[in-house]
A and B are shown apart, each in its own frame.
Chain A
Amino acid sequence: MTKKTIFLYTVVLSLGVAHIGNAQQETDDATEQPAVVDEQPGDIEGNPPDPQEDVAEETPGDIEDKPSEPEDESPENESDDTPDTEGEENSSVQEGAGMDEGASVEEDDSFEEDDEFEQEFEENEDDDGAWRPNISGFVKLDKRFLTSDSEVPMVDFYSKARLELKTWPTDNLLVVVSGEVRFYSLSGVSSSSDLSDPNKQMPFDAFPWEIYFKAHDLFAPGIDFSFGKQRITWGAADKLNPTDNLNPDDFTDIFDWGAKIPSTAAVLSYTFPNDWSLAAIWLPSVRPVLLPRAGGLDLGGGQDLTPLLGGAQVVEQEDHIDTGPFDLKHSMQAVKFSGSVLDIDFSLSYLHGYDDLPVPTELTITPVDATSVSLSTTSSFMEQHVIGADFAGELFSVGYWAEVGVFIPEGATMQITAPGPTGDPVTQEQVAVEDEVYVKYTAGLDYTFSCGFYVNVQYMHGFFVERSRDELNDYLLARLEWKFLEDKFKLALGGGGMISDWDNVKEAHGYVVMPEFSYRPFDNLELAVGAFLLDGEGDGLFSALDDQDQVYVKAVASF
């Protein structure tokens, strides 16, 4: 276990809280009906409803209205009369043509007429809905309980609600505005004066989620341009994507693996006539990771400061994060090329940017008096290049995917200034980030058995919290699902194991078990109970969290 590993794990552990997330739900949803979200009812092109659009000339509900059939309209006659149309695909003349428009042939009278649906549709058609925003969202209530004793319990769990407005002001312009509120399970009350502070009593965070526009067929057909705070998803793997690095990590829920938050970006893409595409992305500035409210970075950068402190007590501590100047040099750029060959979807990508997790690059220890010191830390975002590739397809009915990210960090040093033997400051330099290339990859399979069981298995080298070659561990994750009774009930068993040292597996392994039972009493509502159970030996991620076992109850209502 390297110092940097300790540092990163410390970041994870120092989150101090774990918010209720939807790691499990999203894994489920990736393979079935995803929850929530948007959509602007539009026309066949996906454009907004055209108020001028005519409601067909059909006569719904006129099943009794059977006009008489002219003799010469029999299919046989037509067939004989027009032999040259035989075999023509999409012939414009249908068998039996010649009846009046709106004529009907009653085949089955067991269908109930549905004037309400037709009327509702007609009302929508009549409505000038060009600017009508489409409002959607969800409320996700998530209550967790720790089931094991922990020295540093993660208790800052949260529920959340998201509201999204989406509209098409013109046929080729999409505007999205959404926001999220996270409200915490525990109050922030710590003194009697807090009892009169509603913000302490009912702590919450509210922030914009996605705010962007997207113009289609800008300048020329096939060219799309979007700008604003948006989520850009990359990668073919299921949720654990080593190439998905455009948006910063959301570490607020340690069990919501791979969660990201939208960030400001401009995306210019061109889709070729064969549906292959080329996209260029520009992110104006570094976007840092999101840590839990009670979380924080290890300001020592994983360094053992004991020898430097010389027994002195730290009485003051300050830190500064250098986001760099707001200039082009500190922006991030990426390109991605996607296509399909032989029924295999693939993409190739390149990103020049900055890791979203700042690394301490300067540490100054200043004596305050004979027995105490102050610490001052400056952290910076490390420049890196990521070359990515992924593909997905199927073999013998089994779905498969693989994704690889080659990380090329620029490397950085940490300047440590501390009083020397004479009392004068002495600066020494240590490696903060190795400039060695490391590779993360994920490969997975999924299959649905005829009895209805769905299985998803992924092998991964390098978890989303791990950086640098020495820190990458091997993980095997799996999920089994079974739906029953009209899909109202679902039993799911997720889990995974990891090895942090193959030479000493017995002392360097960990596992997590994630059972969940969910119930959908009706559309738009899901209720679930589940647990996260971890154990292991050594300093791997799962073993480091083995005192954070949790059970949860969850309710998700979509609108």
Chain B
Amino acid sequence: MMKKTNILLVAAFLVVNTFAVPAFALTGDEILAKVEKAMNAPADRTATIKMIIKAKDGTTKERKMKISQKGAQKKLFTFLSPADVKGVGFLVIDDDTLYLYSPAFGKIRRIASHVKNENFMATDFSYNDLSESKYPEKYSAVLDKTDGEHYVLTCKPKPGAKTDYSKLVMRVNKKTYLPSKVEMFNKAGKLFKVMTNGAVKKIDGYWTPTHIKIKDVLRNHTTTMKLVNVKHDQGLADKVFSKRNLKKVH
């Protein structure tokens, strides 16, 4: 009887694992590629964003802006409030080409690399966080584990890749292939930031996180982004992501 039970258990285990094969068949890099694909699935996206910046002492600040994105890289941010940053525009053409428009001066300035790991407009996002998009190009991923709903990847920079982080631990939703949580470790190997995606909704056929929170663990400082009026695939032209338009939208 005992032997029969064991055989049944072994058989059950094999069955479970047989059905689980497709999941485990994916390597970390393959999952990361799917993450990339899921994040940049729409041809383009627009949204209005409210950012709530919460400091260590509990005080909060609010920012509102519009964002347009095309593909993985092209992004255009326009601040709507508060008044002292209203009209400031931020254009990402690719990882290395970023421009900031300052309406007070009517000037567009290229953002040099030394600024890119600085916090973007006092938020917890660095310029790099906002411009970086192609995880598989910069990181190699290893599948650490999987549970009911998530894969857990450890991503390390590929040789020669310029990154702000020494390691990412990414929790990926199996259904949407969107990262639900990303832990970012600084060059010293310390946990630096934690990004959490929430309120993931299907909009225009695309899974879209409408709440994104990033916490600077070292400063105990948090920025939460809430997205409304999200639209996809509107056929945004390349000219939207131009210096001309960066000035025009203000």
Question: In the complex, are the beta carbons of B205 and A93 less than 8 A apart?
Answer: yes
Partner of B196, one of A39, A94, A107: A107
Partner of B114, one of A37, A59, A397, A522: A397
Please choose the segment from B10-18, B152-160, B237-245 that sits at the chain A interface, where 4 or more of its residues have CB less than 8 A away: B237-245
CB-defined contacts of A526 to chain B, threshold 8 Å = 84
Please choose the segment from B1-9, B137-145, B168-176 that sits at the chain A interface, where 4 or more of its residues have CB less than 8 A away: B168-176
Question: In the complex, are the beta carbons of B209 and A107 less than 8 A apart?
Answer: yes
B28: Cβ under 8 A from any A Cβ = no
Tell whether A103 pairs with B250 under 8 Å between CB atoms, given A275-B243, A393-B110, A523-B82.
no
CA distance A105 to B201 in the complex (A): 6
Question: In the complex, are the beta carbons of B61 and A523 less than 8 A apart?
Answer: yes
A76: Cβ under 8 A from any B Cβ = yes
Question: In the complex, are the beta carbons of B249 and A46 less than 8 A apart?
Answer: yes
A369: Cβ under 8 A from any B Cβ = no
CB-defined contacts of A424 to chain B, threshold 8 Å = none
Question: In the complex, are the beta carbons of A104 and B202 less than 8 A apart?
Answer: yes
A310: Cβ under 8 A from any B Cβ = no
Specify the chain A residue showing the minimal Cβ separation from B247.
A46
Residues 199-250 (chain B) with a chain A CB within 8 angstroms: 199-211, 213, 221, 224, 226, 228-231, 233-234, 236, 238-240, 242-245, 248-250
Question: In the complex, are the beta carbons of B50 and A101 less than 8 A apart?
Answer: no
Interface size on B, residues (CB 8 A): 95
Question: In the complex, are the beta carbons of B176 and A523 less than 8 A apart?
Answer: no
Question: In the complex, are the beta carbons of A33 and B176 less than 8 A apart?
Answer: no
CB-defined contacts of A446 to chain B, threshold 8 Å = 112, 114
Tell whether A447 pairs with B228 under 8 Å between CB atoms, given A37-B103, A111-B199.
no
CA distance A89 to B205 in the complex (A): 16
Tell whether A522 pairs with B86 under 8 Å between CB atoms, given A95-B34, A399-B110.
no
Question: In the complex, are the beta carbons of B201 and A96 less than 8 A apart?
Answer: no
Question: In the complex, are the beta carbons of A121 and B48 less than 8 A apart?
Answer: yes
B163: Cβ under 8 A from any A Cβ = no
Specify the chain A residue showing the minimal Cβ separation from B208.
A58
CB-defined contacts of A59 to chain B, threshold 8 Å = 201
Q: How far is the CB of A266 from chain B (nearest CB, A)?
A: 17
B78: Cβ under 8 A from any A Cβ = yes
CB-defined contacts of B80 to chain A, threshold 8 Å = 39, 41
CA distance A42 to B65 in the complex (A): 10
Interface size on A, residues (CB 8 A): 95
Q: How far is the CB of A114 from chain B (nearest CB, A)?
A: 5
CB-defined contacts of A89 to chain B, threshold 8 Å = 37, 40, 71-72
Counting chain A CB atoms within 10 Å of each CB, which of B50, B68, B86 scores highest? Answer: B86
Question: In the complex, are the beta carbons of A91 and B41 less than 8 A apart?
Answer: yes
CA distance A91 to B40 in the complex (A): 8
Tell whether A69 pairs with B175 under 8 Å between CB atoms, given A41-B66, A89-B72.
yes
CB-defined contacts of B244 to chain A, threshold 8 Å = 222, 224, 271, 275, 277
Specify the chain B residue showing the minimal Cβ separation from A244.
B107
Question: In the complex, are the beta carbons of B233 and A92 less than 8 A apart?
Answer: yes
CB-defined contacts of B176 to chain A, threshold 8 Å = 75, 94-96, 105
Q: How far is the CB of A116 from chain B (nearest CB, A)?
A: 9
Give the dominant DSSP class at A's interface.
loop
CA distance A26 to B104 in the complex (A): 8
Question: In the complex, are the beta carbons of A117 and B50 less than 8 A apart?
Answer: yes
Partner of A108, one of B196, B204, B226, B230: B196
Q: How far is the CB of A287 from chain B (nearest CB, A)?
A: 17
Question: In the complex, are the beta carbons of B175 and A75 less than 8 A apart?
Answer: yes
Question: In the complex, are the beta carbons of B248 and A216 less than 8 A apart?
Answer: yes
Q: How far is the CB of B243 from chain A (nearest CB, A)?
A: 6
Contact with B along A205-217 (1 / 0, CB 8 A): 0000000000010
Contact with A along B60-94 (1 / 0, CB 8 A): 01100010100110001011101111111000000
Partner of B102, one of A34, A62, A76: A34
CB-defined contacts of A37 to chain B, threshold 8 Å = 86-87, 103-104, 250
CB-defined contacts of B148 to chain A, threshold 8 Å = none
Question: In the complex, are the beta carbons of A94 and B38 less than 8 A apart?
Answer: yes
Counting chain B CB atoms within 10 Å of each CB, which of A97, A107, A221, A394 scores highest? Answer: A107
Specify the chain A residue showing the minimal Cβ separation from B226.
A114
Question: In the complex, are the beta carbons of B105 and A104 less than 8 A apart?
Answer: no
Specify the chain A residue showing the minimal Cβ separation from B118.
A448
Specify the chain A residue showing the minimal Cβ separation from B37.
A91
CA distance A111 to B87 in the complex (A): 28
Interchain residue pairs with CB less than 8 A apart (12) = A29-B105, A33-B85, A44-B46, A45-B245, A73-B175, A76-B23, A96-B175, A107-B180, A275-B244, A397-B113, A446-B114, A486-B56
List chain B positions with a Cβ less than 8 A from chain A. 22-23, 26, 33-34, 37-38, 40-43, 46, 48, 50, 55-56, 59, 61-62, 66, 68, 71-72, 76, 78-80, 82-88, 96-97, 102-107, 109-110, 112-115, 118, 121-122, 173-177, 180-181, 196-211, 213, 221, 224, 226, 228-231, 233-234, 236, 238-240, 242-245, 248-250
Known: A91-B41, A398-B112. 14 other contacts (CB 8 A): A34-B102, A38-B86, A39-B103, A45-B245, A45-B249, A46-B248, A75-B174, A94-B41, A94-B205, A174-B248, A233-B107, A343-B97, A486-B221, A523-B82
